[in-house]
Structure 1
Amino acid sequence: MLAFIISIIIVGLIAGALARLVVPGRQHMSIAMTIVLGVVGSFVGGFLGYLIFHKDAQDGFLQPAGIIGSFLGAVIVLLLWLRLGHRRTVRA
């Protein structure tokens, strides 16, 4: 169980860092938020992969397709975060 949690953190850090490198602009995030971005991106990428290809984690945990899906999911989540984060304006 501990190895599973550590692998999720490592994959999350890699996917989140790659997403932050690819998406243009400044993202004011800590390392912990980068890991959270990658983990949430993994869930989004896994869900989209399941919808498109009908494969899930039973086919193997660390696959190249899973890591690519984590990266793509993290990019989607980061773009949504940046788009929705700028709507915090106060209207009078």
Structure 2
Amino acid sequence: MFQLLWILLIGFILGVLAKLILRGPQAIPWWLTMLLGAAGALLGNLIAGWIGVRHTGGIDWIRHFLQIGCAVALVAVVAPAWSNSRTNR
């Protein structure tokens, strides 16, 4: 249970950071921001494991940058699609 709360909290933080890094407004709700951040964290972890930098001595900076990068990419792709789907209704 606590792991799920931790995933959602980190997902929200990564999603907000991704929205701050991107230029312009991203008109997506907070729950989608949280889900995209969590998905970015998962994708970043998978990529870090694939290239062999998931567990290093000290702070895993490369893994964290990959997580943020994946969250930014997901928000950059989903936010315009979300706003287009909302304006077409």
Compute the TM-score of the two structures, normalised by the length of structure 1: 0.70
Match of 2:50 in 1: 51
Q: Which residue of 2 aligns with 1:76?
A: 73
Structure 1: where are the runs of 5+ without partners?
none
Is there any run of 5+ residues in structure 2 with no aligned partner, and where?
A: none
Instruction: Report the alpha carbon displacement of residue 79 of structure 1 after superposing the two structures with TM.
Output: 2.2
Matches within 5 A, 1:1-92: 2-53=1-52, 55=54, 59=55, 64-65=60-61, 66-82=63-79, 85=81
Moved more, 41-50 or 73-82: 73-82
TM-score between the two structures when normalised by the length of structure 2:
0.72
| Structure 2 counterpart of 1:71, one-letter code | I
When the two structures are aligned, how many residues end up with a matched partner?
A: 82
Work out whether residues 33 and 75 of structure 2, in 8 Å CA contact, stay in contact via their aligned partners in 1: no
RMSD: 2.6
